[in-house]
Amino acid sequence: MNQQNIFDDTISIIKAYAPDLTKEELTMDTIINTETAVDSLGFVLIISKLEGKYNIRIPDRQISKFITIGDVVKYISKKAS
Amino acid sequence: MNIKFTKLNNMLTNRAIFEDYPCIKYLIDDKLVVISNKEFFNNCLIYKKIVKEMGISSLAILLPKSPELIYYFLGSILAGSRTCLIDNTEPIEKIEQMLRTFQPQYIAKNNDDFSADENLSIENTLVNKTNINSASEGDAVFFTSGTSGPAKGVLLSASSLLASAYNGQEMLPCHDGDVVLSLLPFSHIYGFICTFLWPLCYGGIICLGRGMRSLLTDPKIFSPTILPIIPSLATFLLLHDALDENIKTILIGAGPLSENIIRLIKKKNIILSFGYGLTETSSGVAISVNNSDPLAMAKCPGNEFKIEEDGRILIKSNTVMLGYFNDAKSTSQVMKDGYFITNDIGFIDKNGCLHISGRTDDIIILENGTKFNCAKAEEDFQKQMPYLDFAFAESNGKIKFVYYSKDVSKLEMDKYINAFNSSQPIYSKISIIEKLEHPLYRTKTNKIQRYKL
């Protein structure tokens, strides 16, 4: 599973659960807290969908360390491999 | 008539009379497990014996929400030990700080909850076992949210915890057969009292939620009748259509709720109550019972309020703390003539109900009820950007960063904000950045006029 696929999955899940995004185009550098309309509970929901898709478990303490979408993609890429 | 318990043992014995009635429900691998009152009571006694035999006089519990956590807590108090619940999902630094304050003799935790590089250094310094001589019940230390500075340990007696449950019951009864879903951590006093001790004392069935990932499914699985939650959670559940049709009552604590969400919840014919209280008062001291004005909170029995000239709320209560843990100086600063001095501003209406209108200081309350100290955050941020004109503020329960600069690029600003956010828990990160076209408004003494942000 390459990073592009994980990125695409992440974006589609974010768009499904947070349709009112403040930024139209989401990139690896998009900052989750300030450039999307995803709040902390919504973000956990997105993470849980990604966990299910990639059959991994991300510790709660790790979730609070994610800043950008790229951070999430890279972490999953490392874990899933 | 509600029984006013003063001893945990009496409360548990009373509950165990209905021995086959369910006490706790939880899920293991999606399979529902029910613990009866009899089994629950017996397990509490087993843990009491374990704590006694191990000679544990002070116990810190870092377990995930589970029957084991509850048995440890109640067993330890029954054994006469000093007991502290700590959220095992908090950042390691914060857990270490709480452990350093509490200095437990023993820590109950699952090693699986901590990765190899997350060693708790304090574990190497735990003291040897001592004998527990006390024949009376122990007490508990709950930590304040800690976002307004280091989390303070608050020492509460078992009887004040029980009094808090009784006070709540007098205002908002929990009946036999009521099902209370616990979605909040037990390490926070509101979650402990309202999603655990209150239903335990007065016949409710307690369902243990499985954590943040299951927030949308747990209400449907457990079908609660009473749901004590915080504002951000109420909004989240409502907008995702996750409020089960059996819910009769929603209790909101730890902060305000938007008018729109209040209207939508009431439209579902759900009784909406707000509670006001602090860790220092063992949770709620006032609860609203009038659905037409849920923000007007009537005082619970055993409580007296005074409003100072500056609007500050003072509380005299049978649930006020014994003191900050090992911090007599801080304790003396918040007690005055038997009243606890809060930092909240409010007023009492013509019906004697309390309304909260704000804070006296720079602390803002985020949408999940967490307190965030703007002044402290500004002090920290200033070290990185000493010449920037900026401030922290609140916007719809989120943290807003406001700044004015002619020469700092967005890229550079993002770099510093990302660095700040990476050091913060998930609930206290900057969510909104606003660049002003003019310098911040300040007083003559250079203090930020935060209300203008």
> Per the domain annotation, does B220 fall within a domain?
yes
Residue B213 lies in a domain: yes
pLDDT band at B361 (very low <50, low <70, confident <90, very high): low
List residues of chain B with CB under 8 Å from any CB of chain A: 89-92, 115, 118, 211-213, 215-216, 232-233, 236, 367-368, 398, 414, 417-418, 421-422, 424-427, 429-433
Region A11-30: mean pLDDT is 78
- Residues B261, B215: contact at Cβ < 8 Å? no
B328, B378: one domain: no
Residues of chain A in contact with residue B421, where contact means CB-CB under 8 angstroms, are 31, 33, 67
Put simply, the answer to whether A39 touches B414 (Cβ < 8 Å) is no
Give phi and psi for B256, each to the nearest 5: -85, 165
Which residue in B89, B367, B431 is closest to A60 by CB distance?
B89
Q: Do B282 and B206 have their domain in common?
A: yes
Residue B305 shares a structural domain with residue B337: yes
pLDDT tens, position by position, A48-64: 999 988 899 898 888 88
Number of domains, chain B: 2
Number of residue pairs across A and B with CB atoms under 8 Å? 59
Which structure tokens are listed for B112? Answer: 């699986």
Is there a contact between B215 and A45 if contact means CB atoms under 8 Å apart?
yes
Residue with the larger pLDDT of the pair B451 and B232: B232
**Contact flag A33-B430 (C-beta cutoff 8 Å):** yes
Q: What is the pLDDT of residue B65?
A: 94
The pLDDT of B66-79, averaged and rounded, is 96
Question: Which residues in chain B have their CB less than 8 angstroms from residue A52's CB?
Answer: none
Interface residue of B86, B421, B430 to substitute, partner A, most A CBs within 10 Å: B421
Partner residue facing B426 (CB), from A34, A48, A64: A64
Distance CA B47, CA A12 (A): 48
Of A47, A61, A67, the CB nearest to B421: A67
Neighbours of B2 (CB within 10 A): 15
- pLDDT exceeds 50 at position B229: yes
The answer to whether residues B283 and B242 belong to one domain is yes
pTM: 0.82
How far from B155 is each of B5, B139, B143, B328, B427, CA to CA, in Å? 19, 7, 9, 11, 26
B428 domain-assigned: yes
A7 min Cα distance to partner chain B (Å): 20
CB contact under 8 A, B425 and A64: yes
Domain boundary among B305, B340, B357: B357
Q: Residues B406, B322: one domain?
A: no
Confidence of residue B422 (pLDDT cuts 50, 70, 90): confident
CATH of the domain at B411: 3.30.300.30
* Residue labelled with tokens 């109900």: B353
Helices A40-54 and A69-80: crossing angle, nearest 10°?
30
The CA distance from B414 to the nearest CA of chain A, in Å, is 9
B2 domain residue, yes or no: no
On whether both B48 and B171 belong to a single domain, the answer is yes
Comparing C-alpha atoms, which of B230, B238, B227, B232 is closest to residue B271?
A: B227
Q: Which residues pair with B251 in a beta bridge?
A: B228, B273
DSSP assignments along B362-427, one per residue: SEEE-TTS-EEEHHHHHHHHHHH-TT-EEEEEEETTEEEEEEE-SS--HHHHHHHHHHHHHTS-GG
**Residue B3 domain-assigned (yes or no):** no
Report the Cα–Cα distance between both ends of chain B, in Å, rounded: 50
Phi, psi of B186 (to 5 degrees): -70, -20
Pairwise pLDDT comparison (B8 vs B212), residue with the higher score: B8
Residues from chain B contacting residue A61 (CB–CB below 8 Å):
89-92, 118
The reply to whether B346 and B373 lie within a common domain is no
Confidence (pLDDT) at A14: 85
- CA distance linking residue B61 with residue B1, whole number of Å: 34
Find out whether B179 and B247 touch, Cβ atoms under 8 Å: no
The mean predicted confidence, pLDDT, of chain B is 88
Domain-embedded: residue B145: yes
> What was the pLDDT predicted at B325?
94
pLDDT of residue B135: 63
Neighbouring CB atoms inside 10 A of B309's CB total: 5
B167: in domain: yes
Least confident of B241-250, B355-364, B428-437: B355-364
- Residue B388 domain boundaries: 366-452
B139 plus B271 within the same structural domain:
yes
Asked if residue B77 and residue B151 are part of one domain, the reply reads yes
Evaluate whether residue B1 is within a structural domain: no
Residue B418 and residue A67: Cβ atoms within 8 Å?
A: yes
Neighbouring-strand partners of residue B323: B155
d(CA B372, CA B409) in angstroms, rounded, equals 27
Residues B344 and B280 in one domain: yes
Say how far apart CA B108 and CA B60 lie, in whole Å: 6
Indicate the length of chain A as a whole number.
81
Nearest to B246 by CA among B219, B228, B273, B276: B219
DSSP 8-state symbol, A77: H
CA distance A76 to B430: 24
Provide the CATH number for the domain around residue B209. Answer: 3.40.50.12780
Q: Which of A34, A41, A48 sits opposite B430 (nearest CB)?
A: A34
Q: Which residue of A has its CA nearest to B433?
A: A34
Residues B73/B48, Cβ–Cβ less than 8 Å: no
Q: Which of A20, A41, A66 to mutate to test the interface with B (most CBs of B within 10 A)?
A: A41
Element (H, E) at B298: strand B298-299
> Are B198 and B122 members of one domain?
yes
Q: Last residue of a domain, which of B357, B382, B406?
A: B357
Give the pLDDT of residue B74.
97
Calpha distance B252→B397 (Å, rounded): 15
ipTM reported for the complex, 2 dp: 0.78
pLDDT at B357: 78
> Which of the listed residues B357, B390, B416 is the one where a domain comes to its end?
B357
Give yes or no: residues B55 and B97 share one domain. yes
Element containing residue A68 per DSSP (H, E): none
The answer to whether the beta carbons of residues B187 and B87 sit under 8 Å apart is: yes
What residue has token string 């004697």? B352
Please list, in sequence order, all residues whose beta carbon lies within 8 angstroms of the beta carbon of residue B361, skipping any fewer than 6 positions away: B343, B375
